[in-house]
Amino acid sequence: MTDSSVPLAEAGGRLLIDLQAISDNYAQLAARVAPAACAAVLKGDAYGTGLEPAATALWNAGARSFFVALLAEAKRLRDLLPQAEVFVLNGLFAGTEQVYDQYDLRPVLCSQDDVARWQDYCAGIGRPLPAALHVDTGMNRLGLSATEAIHLAEGRDEFRFPLALVMSHLACADEPDHPLTARQLEDFRAVAALFPGVRASLANSAGALGDKSLHFDMVRPGIALYGGRSRRDTPPLRPVVRLELRIVQVREVHEGETIGYGAAQTARRPSRIAVLAAGYADGIFRLAGASDGQPGAEVVIAGRRCPLAGRVSMDLMTVDVTDLPEEAVRPGDFATLIGEGIGVDELAGHARTIGYEVLTALGRRFHRRWV
Ligand SMILES: *Cc1c(COP(=O)(O)O)cnc(C)c1O
């Protein structure tokens, strides 16, 4: 599948998204957590890989429950997958109740106010519509407190809608043996026990790849499906994204001259510099650039790793190709920034961030192909 909005001949780079790898990663996780169900998180345009293609691949691989952050994403998903169970994580925004109803979507209720408004809506239309409940166990981001959950459970007979899921979110599962994970697990066990017969879900990717005790009835992986690292102690599953950037020019730089903005890097020898047609406007972080004191990210050209030289600019970046044979680097060739052994997490490390941010930042100016 190709997004023809940017023809390859006009694009500064091409982004190849391996849908088979997404399916394989799903199958691997689903097998690992069985008999727990494996849902899929599709927020952030499926972590930059494209909501529709990723959702189709995941549905075909057997996923039936999906999580997105926002209602707009959920509506797109519903148009694509009429049978899917779709949860919206960011809470029930006032005035959107009717949209959930119309599209058969499940709000993840995150506060007492959310619960009250859903109750009122269901009472008003005289139909009990299922919703999920998010209970906070130590993340301190979204969710009712444990005390609020207890109050709610005690008055449960008054519920005018069925609970489809009770969930919480792990803050530190990427760090094996972080003490907060054990505390959250214990608290979530107590929360889940308040709602017997309701499916329970705690684990993100790191939890799904962690101990079985974290799996409950359903796991909610995101990053692991898209080939990013989720735990310090576990290598990522199959890589999904490959990014190749167009070489627009190769130039000679004399020893002692500087390269790019801020004259941040000085040529220590007569050098050849390849100029690539992508930069921070495409989501390639400026922090991944190089300076005299600090090497930056690398790209692969003609099978060899080459270091960035100088800063990443808005639409361009520069690479030292002095060590490659002259005929190996020509304008019109492509340099691989993600792929050929360079993972999203390696690139993220050079930009002092995480694979999640690299994937979701990848811009819309690339030629995109789903294979
Ligand atoms: C993003 C998110 C997930 C998925 O997290 P990963 O670390 O990408 O697996 C699961 N649950 C909630 C509530 C989330 O916000």
* 327-356 pLDDT per residue, tens: 999 999 999 999 999 999 999 999 999 999
Written as one string, the DSSP assignment of 257-313 is -EESGGG-EE-SSSEEEEEES--GGGT--GGG--BTTB---EEEETTEEEEB-S---
Give 58-88 pLDDT, tens digit per residue.
999 999 999 999 999 999 999 999 999 999 9
The finding on whether 221 has its CB within 6 A of some atom of ligand 1 is yes
Top-tier CATH class for 19-226: alpha beta
Residue 89 near ligand 1, beta carbon < 6 Å: yes
**Residue 324, SS3?**
coil
pTM, two decimal places: 0.96
- For ligand 1, the distance from its centroid to the CA atom of residue 204, given in whole angstroms, is 5
pLDDT given at position 2: 64
Domain ranges of the chain: 19-226, 241-370
Fold agreement between 19-226 and 241-370: no
Q: How confident is the model at residue 44 (pLDDT cuts 50, 70, 90)?
A: very high
Per the DSSP assignment, residues forming a β-bridge with 235 are none
Ligand 1 pocket: which of 66, 67, 167 to mutate (most atoms <8 Å of CB)? 67
4, pLDDT greater than 70: no
Tens digit of pLDDT for each residue in 187-208? Answer: 999 999 999 999 999 999 999 9
CATH class, domain 241-370, is mainly beta
E-strand ranges in the chain read: 2-3, 13-17, 37-38, 40-41, 65-68, 85-88, 106-109, 131-134, 163-167, 200-201, 218-219, 241-253, 258-259, 265-266, 271-276, 298-301, 304-307, 317-320, 334-338, 367-370
